[in-house]
Amino acid sequence: MMEMISLPVLRRVAICGGTHGNEMSGIYVVLELERQQKEKGDAAWSIPLTTVLSNPRAIEECRRYMDKDLNRCFTSALLRSPITSDTPYEIQRAQQLNSLLGPKGSEDAVDIICDLHNTTANMGLTVISYSWSNWICLQIFKHLQAKITDVPVRLLLINVPPGEAYSLESVAKYGISLEVGPQPQGVVRSDIFNFMKQGVDAILDWTETFNSGKVIEGGEVEAYLIQKSIDYPRDPKTGKPTAAIHPQLQDQDFCLLQRGDPVFLTFSGETLSYEEEEPLHPLFINEAAYYEKGIAFHLARKKTLSVPSIRAKTD
């Protein structure tokens, strides 16, 4: 029989949207939560909820970011860096958010941050968390997977130590990013908005159940762990891609690529194949924001994890 783990009650949850200013569902989910909070008052949720629009300037301009990708600004080093008049806007904003929701790594930090993202890739509803993150995140994932059946729910674990963790949710004790797609940048689709809203509602329900002291049963979950990233073939002179994702791979996120499978189709019509020895799962295929980062898709390995039963210490 599996171990039972007791964990402190959750006292504060933050839901953040617009960390990337052109990922629209998260922005509208935050605005809808604020509308509900206004309508229902403190009775809206049993746990104090902080809602945040993370990058207001980028939201205003409907851009991913102004000076620098905000969701790469939450390393311990950048959060400590001195602010001058030349400091990029997003580093200043990261330090503000760290004051509001952190400080990162401290007792005062908010218990859960759920940061809402969209992707142009066909990622369904993907829960992203750090692999050092503990049972709370894995149990939340388990709950989402059981509760949400209209869209595939999957778990992606990132293996980066806490100090180097760069994303907003790393400020919380338990950080979760919900990545929902496919949705174009600058567009909100009802279907994608609804998947994300269901995810957020399910997380809030779960924290209520957990805080009630009820035993949350353990079990097994499947996680994806990123092994490497593949860039587009590029023109050596201009640096521009010379191929797009092959039609047979486009929208097939989480499939299993085998050596010889088509991966790219060049603009002159040539098919390029998967050349890795190991079959791996492609993720974030053709994500708009990754062109500038030199990523056509990530490759991940699948792993089964055991999650213990947990309950809140409600004494």
Q: Which residues are annotated as a binding site for Zn(2+)?
A: 20, 23, 117
DSSP 249: T
Taking CB under 8 A as the rule, does residue 218 contact a second copy? no
| Span interacting with a second copy, options 43-51, 156-164, 183-191, 222-230, rule CB under 8 A | 183-191
What is the pairing mode between strands 174-181 and 124-130?
antiparallel
Could you tell me if 191 and 96 are in contact, meaning their C-beta atoms sit under 8 angstroms apart?
no
Going by the annotation, the residues of the binding site are: 20, 23, 117
How far is residue 60's CA from residue 168's CA, in Å, rounded to a whole number?
Answer: 19
Question: What stretches of the chain adopt beta strand conformation (E)?
Answer: 4-8, 13-17, 49-53, 112-118, 124-130, 153-158, 174-181, 219-230, 243-245, 262-266, 271-273, 281-283, 297-307, 309-313
Q: For residues 4 and 187, which CB has a smaller minimum distance to a second copy in the complex?
A: 187
Q: Which listed residue (7, 46, 291, 308) binds a second copy by CB under 8 A?
A: 291
Asked about 277 being catalytic, the answer comes back as no
246 binds a second copy (CB under 8 A): yes
Residue (175 or 241) nearer to a second copy, CB: 241
Q: Does 268 bind a second copy (CB under 8 A)?
A: yes
Contacts of 32 (CB under 8 A, 6+ apart): 197
Name beta bridge partners: 226.
300
| Contacts (CB under 8 A) with a second copy, residues 81-120 | 120
C-alpha 145/C-alpha 298 separation (Å) is 22
Would you tell me how many other CB atoms lie within 10 Å of the CB of residue 91?
A: 18
Name 244's bridge partners. Answer: 265
| Stretch 8-37 residues interacting with a second copy (CB under 8 A) | 28-29, 31-32, 35-36
Residue-wise DSSP of 214-246: --B--EEEEEEEEEEEEPPPB-TTT--BSEEE-
84 vs 190, beta carbon nearer a second copy:
190
The residue from 171, 245, 300, 307 that contacts a second copy (CB under 8 A) is: 245
> Could you give the C-alpha distances from 306 to 216, 259, 275, in angstroms and in order?
14, 30, 32
Shortest CB 126 distance to a second copy, Å: 17
Out of 5, 288, 295, 305, name the contact with a second copy by CB under 8 A: 288
Tell me the closest approach of the beta carbon of residue 112 to a second copy, in angstroms.
23
Give the range of 99-107, 179-187, 209-217, 272-280 binding a second copy by CB under 8 A. 179-187
Closest CB to a second copy among 120 and 133? Answer: 120
* Residue 310 DSSP code: E
Q: In whole angstroms, how close is the CB of 74 to a second copy at the nearest point?
A: 24
Task: Verify binding: residue 71, a second copy, rule CB under 8 A.
Answer: no
Kindly name the residue from 179, 220, 277, 292 that is annotated as catalytic: 179
Residue 189 binds a second copy, judged by CB under 8 A: yes
Nearer to a second copy, 204 or 310 (CB): 204
Kindly tell me the burial class for residue 247, based on how many C-beta atoms sit within 10 Å of its own C-beta (0-12, 13-18, 19 or more).
exposed
Stretch that binds a second copy, among 3-11, 106-114, 133-141, 185-193 (CB under 8 A): 185-193
Q: Count of residues for the chain?
A: 315
Which residue in 292, 304, 313, 315 binds a second copy (CB under 8 A)? 292
Q: Which residues bind a second copy (CB under 8 A)?
A: 28-29, 31-32, 35-36, 62-63, 120, 182-191, 193-194, 197, 240-241, 244-247, 250, 265, 267-268, 286, 288-289, 291-292
The residues that are catalytic are 179
